[in-house]
Amino acid sequence: MSYQVLARKWRPRNFGALVGQEHVVRALRHALEHGRLHHAYLLTGTRGVGKTTLARILAKCLNCETGVTAEPCGKCSACEEIDGGRFVDLLEVDAATNTRVDEMRQLLDTAQYAPTRGRYKVYVIDEVHMLSNSAFNAMLKTLEEPPEHLKFILATTDPQKIPVTVLSRCLQFNLKQMPAASVAAHLARLLDAEAVPYEADALQQIGRAAAGSMRDALSLLDQAIAHGAGSVTAESARDMLGAVDESYLQRLLEAVAAADATRVLSIADEMLSRSLSFDAALQDLAGLLLRIATLQVIGASSASDEAPDAAVLPALARTLDAEFVQLCYQIALQGRQDLPLAPDEHAGFVMTMLRMLAFRPDSASTPATSAGEARKPVGSASPAPARSARDFGGDWPALVKSLTVGGAARELARNSALVAHADGMLELAVPASMGHLAEQNYRDKLRTALEQHLGRPIALKVSKGQATGTTVAEAEAGERETRRAEADRAVQGDQFVRDLVDMFDAKVVGSRARPGGDGN
């Protein structure tokens, strides 16, 4: 017996069997029930969301022998032939392979003749954005004056490429991507019907990996069944997808919560040795943080997290500071974006985790310390700094001068005084009059520049208020003053200038004097 791929076998044959796309179904049902049919529909949406499927259902609705209906019988010869792909009045053209204008002309010529078997001739043009301009023009004529018996259903993943003249003559429906949860639920129904045993977690994983495409989900499921020799387990799905066991991520977050850098690093090494995808890990980590944040907002009791080991999440939701969870989420997303720039994925992942550690807020277990010595940021278990790590001895003005940062972030650095510093931590104070410079955005830029220069994650604190230290701006102002005074002195000391002063009873205007050799 030949195996029929699931996507083909389970192509929905009526509106009711479709997953999602309710907005489109509602509009089409209404049109069919009230006899208000348009002559051209355009279905847009990413791959595997039901465009071709909907076009075929609509063809049945129009040609079912029970009459034009939103509920085609599925039994008459028209319905059966359409489902079987052999209905003479349904023409499916793949524009990607038939872009030439003469092919389009030929197609449109036959469109003039009445249908042979059905009520309507239905032309489905898939990937319609691939048509040549002249082919579009040929089609436009028919779209402008369509014969009564003709219906166009255009489908595309790329509506941007369709000329407005064509767009304006179609009723457009935008199909949505499938949410992972709906995909998983659909897969479960289908496996129940196929009597294939499965673990719910496996379907969740496939649902996420399919990234919105039901077709991709179904072909992943085909693979998973083959891979798992007839059943779909979470482990084999993970294996197949190269996905990251969520327990790694939970352990990572627990280590971050405990400020245990050593453990974070050893988990990352373990992931490396299993050649897990760090990109997927950061994506899943963001997903996990989202679930934790959700728990924190709605409370553990009302949460409906069905993951098998979900008991860990409420614990993390209680331990981790809500703002810190938000921050970690940002760091995970940013880390994923930066991954291609990192020396390698493992390094990029480790750096991202270290950044989370560096930003871990003071917890109750860390006693507050005086500003002078400041808290230990990552703890003494702090990892060896990255290759290029530099030590910061406390000369803030010198550090500022070597930073590559501009704009407001540079001004923030120049106008801040160092309050305290420790391993991976800097605390600055900016005068209240320049408080606007302490904005998050500028702080982030400055922090990034500091991290780049020092070669390690930095926790940066900026408070507003008077600082005792000297800011670079002050130091520079001081230097300018000194230089000016020197220049003045040089001018005053110059014999020729002194003669001039004597002769004309003149005065040297101090501020005009400039230090410099050529005396000009």
Ligand X SMILES: Nc1ncnc2c1ncn2[C@@H]1O[C@H](COP(=O)(O)OP(=O)(O)OP(=O)(O)O)[C@@H](O)[C@H]1O
Helix (H) or strand (E) holding 21: none
- Residue (64 or 412) nearer to Zn ion, CB: 64
Give me the least distance between CB of 155 and Mg ion, in Å please.
6
Residue 399's SS3 state is helix
Stretch touching Zn ion by CB under 5 A, among 10-18, 63-71, 241-249, 461-469: 63-71
Q: Could you tell me the CA-to-CA distances from 170 to 105, 120, 151, 191 in Å, in that order?
A: 19, 17, 11, 38
The C-alpha atoms of residue 288 and residue 337 are separated, in whole angstroms, by 17
Give me the least distance between CB of 81 and ligand X, in Å please.
18
Give me the least distance between CB of 130 and ligand X, in Å please.
12
- Residue (41 or 392) nearer to ligand X, CB: 41
Stretch touching Mg ion by CB under 5 A, among 44-52, 98-106, 199-207, 230-238: 44-52
Give me the least distance between CB of 426 and ligand X, in Å please.
52
Does 79 participate in binding Zn ion (rule CB under 5 A)? yes
Q: Is-contact 124 98, C-beta < 8 A?
A: no
Q: Could you tell me the CA-to-CA distances from 91 to 120, 258, 310, 482 in Å, in that order?
A: 11, 64, 50, 87
Q: Could you tell me the CA-to-CA distances from 301 to 13, 246, 304 in Å, in that order?
A: 40, 22, 8
Stretch touching Zn ion by CB under 5 A, among 41-49, 71-79, 204-212, 512-520: 71-79
- Residue (53 or 205) nearer to ligand X, CB: 53
Secondary structure string (H, E, C) spanning 188-207: HHHHHHHCCCECHHHHHHHH
Does 219 participate in binding Mg ion (rule CB under 5 A)? no
Stretch touching Mg ion by CB under 5 A, among 49-57, 201-209, 357-365, 388-396: 49-57
Helix (H) or strand (E) holding 423: none
Q: Is-contact 65 78, C-beta < 8 A?
A: yes
- Residue (76 or 188) nearer to Zn ion, CB: 76
- Residue (73 or 315) nearer to Zn ion, CB: 73
The C-alpha atoms of residue 314 and residue 299 are separated, in whole angstroms, by 9
Does 374 participate in binding Zn ion (rule CB under 5 A)? no
- Residue (25 or 513) nearer to Mg ion, CB: 25
- Contact partner at residue 64 from Mg ion, Zn ion, ligand X, none, CB < 5 to 8 Å by partner kind: Zn ion
Give me the least distance between CB of 69 and Zn ion, in Å please.
8
Could you tell me the strand order of the sheet in which 425-430 lies?
Answer: 417-422, 425-430, 459-464
Question: How large is the C-alpha radius of gyration of the chain?
Answer: 34
Of 375-404, which residues contact Zn ion (CB under 5 A)?
Answer: none
Q: Could you tell me the CA-to-CA distances from 463 to 342, 379, 412, 431, 470 in Å, in that order?
A: 32, 23, 11, 9, 15
**How many CB atoms lie under 10 A from the CB of residue 426?**
24
The C-alpha atoms of residue 238 and residue 202 are separated, in whole angstroms, by 7
- Residue (13 or 464) nearer to ligand X, CB: 13
Secondary structure string (H, E, C) spanning 104-134: HHHHHHHHCCCCCCCCCEEEEEECHHHCCHH
- Residue (45 or 335) nearer to ligand X, CB: 45
The C-alpha atoms of residue 357 and residue 260 are separated, in whole angstroms, by 8
* List of residues contacting ligand X (CB under 6 A): 7-8, 10-12, 18-21, 45, 47-53, 157, 214-215, 218
Stretch touching Zn ion by CB under 5 A, among 75-83, 128-136, 277-285, 461-469: 75-83
**What is 252-273 written as a DSSP string?**
HHHHHHTT-HHHHHHHHHHHHH
Report the relative pairing of strands 150-156 and 459-464 from DSSP bridges.
unpaired
Give me the least distance between CB of 33 and Zn ion, in Å please.
16
- Residue (218 or 256) nearer to ligand X, CB: 218
- Contact partner at residue 48 from ligand X, Mg ion, Zn ion, none, CB < 5 to 8 Å by partner kind: ligand X
Stretch touching Zn ion by CB under 5 A, among 67-75, 113-121, 198-206, 366-374: 67-75
Q: Can you tell me which of 7, 19, 68, 73 binds Zn ion, judged by CB under 5 A?
A: 73
Stretch touching Zn ion by CB under 5 A, among 57-65, 93-101, 147-155, 398-406: 57-65
Q: Is-contact 431 367, C-beta < 8 A?
A: no
- Contact partner at residue 401 from Zn ion, ligand X, Mg ion, none, CB < 5 to 8 Å by partner kind: none
Does 157 participate in binding Mg ion (rule CB under 5 A)? no
Q: Is-contact 42 160, C-beta < 8 A?
A: no
The C-alpha atoms of residue 266 and residue 277 are separated, in whole angstroms, by 16
Q: Can you tell me which of 7, 37, 76, 258 binds Zn ion, judged by CB under 5 A?
A: 76
Does 90 participate in binding Zn ion (rule CB under 5 A)? no
Give me the least distance between CB of 30 and ligand X, in Å please.
19
What 8-state DSSP symbol labels residue 159? G
- Residue (72 or 424) nearer to Zn ion, CB: 72
- Residue (11 or 414) nearer to Mg ion, CB: 11
Give me the least distance between CB of 79 and Zn ion, in Å please.
3
Give me the least distance between CB of 67 and Zn ion, in Å please.
9
Q: Is-contact 285 246, C-beta < 8 A?
A: no
- Contact partner at residue 79 from Zn ion, ligand X, Mg ion, none, CB < 5 to 8 Å by partner kind: Zn ion
Does 68 participate in binding Zn ion (rule CB under 5 A)? no
Give the residues lining the site for Mg ion (CB under 5 A).
51-52
Give the residues lining the site for Zn ion (CB under 5 A).
64, 72-73, 76, 79
